[in-house]
């Protein structure tokens, strides 16, 4: 903790203030972690875990925009994740599209699907989006499992390697840098969204929907916007996952996976972009560390959710940030 | 010049007729007060004038536009801003961010520019921030610029709501009991602020229980009772009206829930 306090002390007053915002300081810290991490990654298994963490983090950043900022819950993000992957897989494997184009098309299609589902439901007050996405996620999961001529059914299907203008991405180390860059991009985009008139409108809706509307905020429009963005984030991560693994099965589209994603966001901290990254990190590592408890994974996730709600309902990162701030104030006195 | 006109407005909640066949006009650049006993329908009226409630009958026109039936954000876009009787501050933001949010209608929110944080957006944000700071200073909250809204005292939050509403540059500003719950000094500050805003040409509709404030700042007073117009006129005319005196002092009546 001591180290963290020293780091956050200004080096020079101007530079300190420049770095003190999440967009600059937080991004810099994340970039440093990404650059230095390979020193600790001894073999390709560790790389694989790191890639998995980053991909989950991308989904969670998008989902956190929706849950933490728009105050809406999606219980079908695993569906968007899987659709992104399957769409890209089907277009590139069965229709011979270049994989990068397949990926972009698939993610755009998922965005369109989210728009179609979100537009009617987000006009309603309350948690109708949760119900709609719950249904949608289950439908996607069933379709992916049963349409075996297209998707390979429960056994899944092979996915061609990702190639960008002739450059084929191969090997854990290459993928590590690609996924890390995607994560940095996702964090940057999300922070930009939050620190903008759109971000303020969203937080205003959370603070007082009625007051936000009397200031001209069209709540349905802004909630829809974030929902579509979060679905596209999930689809991008899903497509990257499919091309990286070279294989995709309907397992990633299940309701349980959607719930896991929500738990990552809640644990890491709602309305905190870096919280989403930490939540994805901890809850992706947890099953790897507790391999003996494999059969009880669902129970462990449930326990984590209960413990989060009881001990730090704000999530781990906002709680730590507040604790650090009060510690810093105590030291100054 | 007529800015807003309300024609035969009616609204019932179940069996309670909150507003009944109410018509009146609001003139540009004047301070209009709406007074009346508790339960007279004042806040219901304000909620209809901002699209929060949809009237059962009648019309609301701003200039040439019929706003009846539009959504709340469309009333705001048409130029009607308001503050709330029970605070509706964004407690998840700082004071400055609250006021910056008030600029929502004056800002462009293109998705691409937002995500890529274009230089134009960065400039617009700096302008928005500067304007919000000026407004905070204007309502006397300069010292609170970086304070979290949930750490601010009640009187300051009342003024923060006014600053937030002003940020949108509304053509009509509705203030719902801005002095309620304030002490004498704070109420005088609100008083001065309203006078200053009126002097600059903002059209204001004031719902208020504080009679001293109403009589001092109003050009025109509308008295509601049981959802109907009881009297209308200059402060002097209204305070001499026997019906008004009766409604306020004369006949004992059960105090309904606060409107």
Tens-digit pLDDT profile for residues B4-42: 999 999 999 988 889 999 999 999 988 999 998 888 889
Query: A17-64, pLDDT tens digit by residue?
Result: 666 666 778 889 999 999 999 988 888 899 999 999 999 999 999 999
Whole-number Å distance between alpha carbons of A214 and B111: 22
pLDDT at A5: 36
- Residue A275, domain member (yes or no): yes
| Residue range(s) defining the domain that contains residue A70 | 47-332
User: What's chain B's length in residues?
Assistant: 259
Residue-wise pLDDT for B139-194, tens only, equals 989 999 889 999 999 989 999 999 999 999 999 999 999 988 888 888 888 888 89
| Residue B92 burial by Cβ neighbours in a 10 Å radius (0-12, 13-18, 19+) | middle
Contact with chain A for residue B11, Cβ under 8 A: no
Of A272-286, A306-320, B117-131, the poorest mean pLDDT is in: A306-320
Nearest CA in chain A to B85: A211
* Same domain as B8, residue B53: yes
Neighboring chain A residues of B82 at a CB cutoff of 8 Å: 214
Q: What is the pLDDT of residues A290-331, one digit of tens each?
A: 777 777 878 888 888 898 888 888 888 888 888 888 888 787
pLDDT confidence tier of residue A168, bands split at 50, 70 and 90: confident
Q: What is the pLDDT of residues B203-228, one digit of tens each?
A: 999 998 878 888 888 999 999 988 89
Task: DSSP for A172-201, please give it.
Answer: HHHHHHHHHHHHHHHHHHHHHHHTSHHHHH
Compute the average pLDDT of residues B85-104.
Answer: 94
A20 Cβ under 8 Å from any chain B Cβ: no
Closest partner residue to B73 (CB to CB) among A198, A199, A213 is A213
Domain count, chain A: 1
- Residue B237 and residue B181 share a domain: yes
Same domain, B150 and B175: no
Contact: B117, A211; criterion CB under 8 Å: no
Please name the residues between 130 and 189 in chain B that touch chain A, using a CB distance below 8 Å.
Answer: 161, 164-165, 168
Whether residue B30 is found in the same domain as residue B130: no
Q: Note whether A198 contacts B109, CB cutoff 8 Å.
A: yes
Task: Assess if residue B86 is contained within a domain.
Answer: no
How many Å apart are CA B2 and CA A322, to the nearest integer? 52
The answer to whether the CB of B71 falls within 8 A of the CB of B54 is no
Instruction: Please tell me the distance in Å from B7's CA to the nearest CA on chain A.
Output: 22
**CB-based contact, B12 to chain A, within 8 Å:** no
Partner residue facing A189 (CB), from B109, B115, B164: B115
Residue A217 burial (10 A CB sphere; 0-12, 13-18, 19+): buried
d(Cα A325, Cα B217) in Å, to the nearest integer? 45
In a domain, B87, yes or no: no
Residue A196 and residue B121: Cβ atoms within 8 Å?
yes
Q: How far, in Å, are A61, A267, A316, B7, B121 from residue A307 at the CA level? A: 22, 9, 11, 57, 41
Does residue A56 sit at the B interface (CB-CB below 8 Å)?
no
In this complex, do B90 and A193 lie within 8 Å of one another by their Cβ atoms? no
Considering the domain architecture, whether residues B100 and B219 belong to the same structural domain is answered as no
Amino acid A20: pLDDT? 65
Q: Which residues of A touch B81 (CB under 8 A)?
A: 214-215
Does residue A165 lie within any of the structural domains? yes
- Per-residue pLDDT averaged across B72-90, rounded? 94
B187 and B59 co-located in one domain:
yes
Contact (CB<8Å) A215/B77? no
CB A268 within 8 A of CB A314: no
d(CA A107, CA B172): 45
Q: Are B104 and A215 in contact (CB < 8 Å)?
A: yes
Does A189 contact B at CB distance below 8 Å? yes
Is A193 a member of any domain?
Answer: yes
| pLDDT for the residue B2 | 87
The answer to whether B42 faces chain A, any CB pair under 8 Å, is no
Q: How many CB atoms lie within 10 A of CB B245?
A: 13
Residue A225 at interface with chain B, using a CB cutoff of 8 Å: yes
Strand partners, B7: B59
Give chain A's mean pLDDT: 88
Contact A196 B105 (CB under 8 A): no
B131 contacts in A (CB within 8 Å)?
A: none
**Domain's final residue, options B154, B179, B207:** B154
pLDDT of residue A4: 37
Rounded distance, CA B146 to CA B45, Å? 35
The predicted structure's pLDDT at residue B258: 52
Provide the percentage of residues in chain A whose pLDDT is more than 70: 93
- Same domain (yes/no): B174, B238: yes
Q: Which domain, by its residues, includes B49?
A: 2-79+170-250
**Residues of chain A positioned with their CB less than 8 A from the CB of B73:** 213-214, 216-219
Clarify whether residues B71 and B193 are in a common domain. yes
Handedness of CA B69, B73, B78, B83 (dihedral sign): positive
The reply to whether A37 falls in a domain is no
> Measured between beta carbons, which residues in chain B are less than 8 angstroms from residue A200?
93, 97, 100-101, 104
Nearest Cα to A305, choosing from A277, A264, A270? A264
Interacting residues of A191 by C-beta distance below 8 A, sequence separation 6+: A22, A23, A26, A27, A273
What is the arithmetic mean of pLDDT over A243-258? 92
> Would the CB atoms of A193 and B103 count as touching at under 8 Å?
no
A188: exposed, middle or buried (Cβ count in 10 Å: 0-12, 13-18, 19+) = middle
For residue A213, the chain B residue with the least C-alpha distance is: B73
Cα–Cα distance for residue pair A276/A54, rounded to 1 Å? 11
Q: Give me B232's structure tokens.
A: 């209308």
Closest partner residue to A203 (CB to CB) among B90, B125, B168 is B90
More confident residue, A269 or A126: A269
Residues B201 and B240 in one domain: yes
Confidence of residue B201 (pLDDT cuts 50, 70, 90): confident
Q: Is A197 on the interface with B (CB under 8 A)?
A: yes
Is A265 a domain residue?
yes
Q: Give the CATH number, domain containing residue A235.
A: 1.10.3470
Q: In chain B, how many domains are there?
A: 2
Task: Kindly give the pairing relationship between strand B57-62 and strand B31-35.
Answer: unpaired
**C-alpha distance from B40 to closest chain A C-alpha (Å):** 22
* Cβ within 8 Å, pair B71-A218: yes
What pLDDT does A323 receive?
86
Cβ contact B116–A192 (<8 Å): yes
pLDDT higher for A230 or A127? A230
Tally of CA atoms within 13 A in the half-sphere of B221 that contains its CB: 24
Any domain includes A239: yes
pLDDT of residue A270: 87
What is the pLDDT confidence band of residue A182, given thresholds at 50, 70 and 90? very high
Tell if the CB–CB gap between A215 and B93 is shorter than 8 Å. Answer: no
Packing angle of the helix pair A297-311, A273-289 (nearest 10 deg): 140
The reply to whether A148 touches chain B by the CB within 8 Å rule is no
Does the residue A17 lie in any domain? Answer: no
Residue B221 lies in a domain: yes
The residue in chain B having the minimum alpha-carbon distance to the alpha carbon of residue A190 is: B115
Residue B237, in any domain of the structure: yes
Residues B122 and B194 both lie in one domain: no
Whether residue A16 lies inside any domain: the answer is no
Cβ neighbours around B143 below 10 Å, total: 11
Note whether B181 and B209 are same-domain residues. yes
Residue A83 binned pLDDT confidence (cut-offs 50, 70, 90): very high
Beta bridge partners of A120: none
Q: What is the structure's pLDDT at A295?
A: 77
Q: pLDDT tens digits, residue range A188-228?
A: 999 999 989 999 999 998 889 999 999 999 999 999 999 99
* DSSP secondary structure string for all residues of A114-140: HHHHHHHHTTSSSSHHHHHHHHHHHHH
Q: How many CB pairs under 8 A join A and B?
A: 104
C-beta atoms of A206 and B116 within 8 A: no
Taking alpha carbons only, the member of B47, B22, B5, B26 closest to residue B203 is B26
Does one domain contain both B22 and B149? no
């Amino acid at each position: 903790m001591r180290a963290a306090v020293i780091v956050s002390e200004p080096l020079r007053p101007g530079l300190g203030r420049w770095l003190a915002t999440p967009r600059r300081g937080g991004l810099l810290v994340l970039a440093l972690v990404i650059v230095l991490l390979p020193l600790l990654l001894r073999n390709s298994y560790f790389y694989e875990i790191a890639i998995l963490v980053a991909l989950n983090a991308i989904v969670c950043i998008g989902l956190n925009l929706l849950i933490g900022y728009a105050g809406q819950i999606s219980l079908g993000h695993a569906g968007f994740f899987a659709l992104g992957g399957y769409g890209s897989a089907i277009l590139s494997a069965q229709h011979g599209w270049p994989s990068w184009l397949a990926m972009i098309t698939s993610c755009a299609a998922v965005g369109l699907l989210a728009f179609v589902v979100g537009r009617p439901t987000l006009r309603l007050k309350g948690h109708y989006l949760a119900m709609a996405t719950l249904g949608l996620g289950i439908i996607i999961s069933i379709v992916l499992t049963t349409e075996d001529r297209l998707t390979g059914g429960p056994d899944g299907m092979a996915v061609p390697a990702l190639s960008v203008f002739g450059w084929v991405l191969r090997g854990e180390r290459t993928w590590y840098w690609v996924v890390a860059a995607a994560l940095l991009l996702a964090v940057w985009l999300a922070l930009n969204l939050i620190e903008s008139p759109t971000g303020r409108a969203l937080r205003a809706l959370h603070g007082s929907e009625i007051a936000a509307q009397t200031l001209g905020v069209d709540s349905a429009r802004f909630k829809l916007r974030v929902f579509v963005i979060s679905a596209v984030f999930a689809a991008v991560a899903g497509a990257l996952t499919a091309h990286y693994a070279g294989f995709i099965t309907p397992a990633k589209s299940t309701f349980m996976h959607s719930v896991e994603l929500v738990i990552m966001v809640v644990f890491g901290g709602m309305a905190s972009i870096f919280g989403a990254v930490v939540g994805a990190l901890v809850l992706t590592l947890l099953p790897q560390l507790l391999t003996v408890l494999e059969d009880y994974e669902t129970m462990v996730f449930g326990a984590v959710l209960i413990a989060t709600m009881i001990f730090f309902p704000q999530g781990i990162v906002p709680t730590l940030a507040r604790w650090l701030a009060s510690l810093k104030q105590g030291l100054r006195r | 010049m007529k800015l807003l006109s309300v024609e035969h407005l009616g609204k019932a909640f179940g069996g309670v007729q909150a507003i009944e066949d109410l018509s009146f006009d609001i003139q540009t650049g004047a301070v209009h007060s709406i007074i009346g006993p508790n339960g007279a329908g004042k806040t219901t009226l304000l909620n209809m004038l901002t699209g929060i409630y949809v009237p059962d009958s009648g019309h609301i026109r701003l200039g040439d536009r019929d706003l009846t039936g539009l959504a709340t954000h469309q009333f705001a876009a048409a130029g009607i801003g308001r503050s709330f009787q029970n605070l509706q501050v964004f407690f998840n933001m700082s004071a400055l961010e609250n006021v910056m949010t008030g600029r929502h209608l004056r800002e462009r929110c293109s998705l691409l520019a937002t995500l890529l944080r274009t230089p134009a957006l960065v400039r617009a944000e700096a302008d928005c921030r500067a304007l919000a700071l000026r407004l905070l200073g204007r309502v006397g909250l300069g010292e609170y610029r970086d304070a979290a809204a949930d750490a601010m005292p009640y009187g300051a939050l009342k003024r923060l709501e006014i600053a937030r509403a002003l940020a949108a540059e509304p053509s009509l500003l509705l203030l719902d009991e801005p002095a309620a719950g304030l002490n004498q000094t704070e109420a005088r500050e609100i008083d001065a602020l309203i006078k200053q805003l009126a002097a600059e040409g903002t059209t204001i509709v004031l719902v208020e229980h504080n009679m001293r404030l109403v009589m001092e700042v109003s050009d025109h007073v509308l008295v509601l009772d049981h959802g109907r117009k009881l009297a209308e006129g200059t402060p002097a005319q209204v305070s001499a009206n026997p019906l008004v005196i009766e409604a306020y002092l004369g006949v004992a009546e059960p105090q309904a829930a606060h409107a």
